[in-house]
Amino acid sequence: MLPCTQKIKDLDWKPKGIILSGSPYSVYDKGAPRVDPDVFEAGVPVLGICYGLQEIAWNHGGKVDPHDRREYGKATIDVVKTGNAHMDALFAGEEARVDVWMSHGDQLSVCPPDFEVVAKTSTAPFAALAHKTKPIYGIQFHAEVTHSPRGKELFENFVERICDCRRDWNMETFIDKEIARIRELVGPKGRVIGAISGGVDSSVAAKLMHEAIGDRFHAVMVDNGVLRAREAAQVYEMLSQHLGVNVTIVDASELFLGRLEGVDDPEKKRKIIGNTFINVFEEEAAKLEAEAEREEEEAKKAGRQHETKGKYEYLLQGTLYPDVIESISFKGPSATIKTHHNVGGLLDDMKLKLIEPLRELFKDEVRQLGKVMGIPAHLVGRHPFPGPGLAIRILGPVTRSQVEILQQADTIYIEEIRKAGIYDEISQAFAVLLPVRAVGVQGDKRTYDQVIALRAAQTTDFMTATWYPFSYDFLSKVSNRITNEVQGVNRVVYDVSSKPPSTIEWL
């Protein structure tokens, strides 16, 4: 993965193909990222996606303009067969009409010379282009996301058939290579402390690290005061009993809640939580090292055999590729959508070095990895829970009383989802406490209480998502339980926004 400004002549290897990704820029903006022109003279296939298509057109004499009708979400393209095998290669085997996912405000207004249209929509007449003689292709839609259902087939056409690449990567080889990489990095005596939230990402990362270095890995679950109800106890049982991992629970709730007091800006919350996590992990690593030194000293005095272990130099995190994409902005490929506490919320002077074995995987790949490693299905299928916890699901200042309200509402919501037997149909479900109050009538009295928003998303890669279509009876039951059982809430709403234009989490 390289920025589009990478000079082809500076590479010491030749690519089999080049894919130009999307970008928040417009190609006509001053300072917009520009691809190295040598990309188009490298003699290898090129595929441009969204901004990538527009950059191809811009470089070849086409024209791009803002459009008065933006396209976000589902669209249907009409595939145009040219009768030329080379130009038709990208959509080989496709139907005449294909559902795709759009996310753009600009589009081509003039097709560049030497290119032909190979797909269009009612509002985008240049939805896909192919060069007449060179293997250069561009698509306005996002084939890389889950909600372009035929996107995988398009990439197969480009990567395997057009670029002639071999498809020999699998999860088993990933495990072997990653374990070997970890062992080489950590060394024969080095030790690793692990940041564990109980979600599938950190749990799979912990299992992988345990397989690599055994008891030289120690997981730490920090109770930051903004966990779900009974979360710390459940995580301890899951990791220690089901996965065989050494784990310590650290209650730092007062520290976190104290630092979050009066803070309502979501980016500040993430930074505070990320920084405080590192403070706690570094302190815990020092305690574990001191304890190990005492045990070694006692063993020496008693004349017992003992193994000298190294220091805790590394911190394990379950960072995934969507976290990286949404947190770090290289000039061109992406914009910072939000700072993930485990990517953009870390201390600049942190003492521990990071190990992120899942950093190049998506959520569905992590679940697959967990299954291959023998992690029980009910753990692998658990809905994600963000590292900053309920702090980013409380829209406003975080207090212990606000956390308790949200914990109660969230517990009821998930309980009813499980009772309905639809938990595994939903990728992520949670409640959000809104920073507004609404008038209500409870017990024949006027109330002025808070509002809970419910969110349920369906996705596999978490880069795009649609909302789950609950029945009216289900929503009625959940709303009734929350307003009856949670003191301080008199209104419940359901979020029916897709990603994009929304994100899955509210903050």
Rounded to 5°, the CA angle 318-142-503 comes to 50
User: Is 21 assigned to a binding site?
Assistant: no
- At which residue do the structure tokens 């930051």 appear? 224
User: Is 201 assigned to a binding site?
Assistant: yes
User: Is 26 assigned to a binding site?
Assistant: no
Say how far apart CA 151 and CA 77 lie, in whole Å.
12
Contact 435, 265 (CB under 8 A): no
- At which residue do the structure tokens 């307003």 appear? 483
Q: How far is CA 270 from CA 118, 253, 263, 494, in A?
A: 44, 15, 10, 25
50 is catalytic: yes
User: Is 203 assigned to a binding site?
Assistant: yes
In the chain, the amino acid numbered 26 is S
Q: How far is CA 242 from CA 181, 207, 213, 238, 310, in A?
A: 25, 10, 18, 5, 27
User: Is 105 assigned to a binding site?
Assistant: no
User: Is 410 assigned to a binding site?
Assistant: no
Cβ neighbourhood burial of 253 (10 Å; 0-12, 13-18, 19+) = middle
Q: Measure the N-to-C terminal CA separation of the chain; round to a whole number of Å.
A: 27
User: Is 199 assigned to a binding site?
Assistant: yes
Q: Which ranges of 161-261 does DSSP label H, i.e. alpha helix? A: 171-186, 200-213, 231-237, 253-260
Contact 270, 249 (CB under 8 A): no
116 is catalytic: no
Contact 257, 225 (CB under 8 A): yes
Scored b (16 or more CB within 10 A) or e, 117-153 reads bbbbbeebebbbbbbeebbbbbbbbbbbbbbbebbeb
142 is catalytic: yes
Scored b (16 or more CB within 10 A) or e, 403-431 reads bebbbbbbbbbbebbeeeebeeebbbbbb
Options 60, 142, 340, 341, the catalytic residue = 142
- Give the distance between the most distant pair of CA atoms in the chain: 84
| Beta carbons within 8 Å of 259's beta carbon, 6+ residues apart | 272, 276
Options 50, 104, 163, 416, the catalytic residue = 50
Handedness of CA 270, 271, 272, 276 (dihedral sign): positive
Scored b (16 or more CB within 10 A) or e, 159-197 reads beebbeeeeeeebeebbeebbeebeeebeeebbbbbbbb
Options 144, 178, 416, 505, the catalytic residue = 144
Point out the annotated binding site for ATP: 197-203
Give the residue numbers marked as catalytic: 50, 142, 144
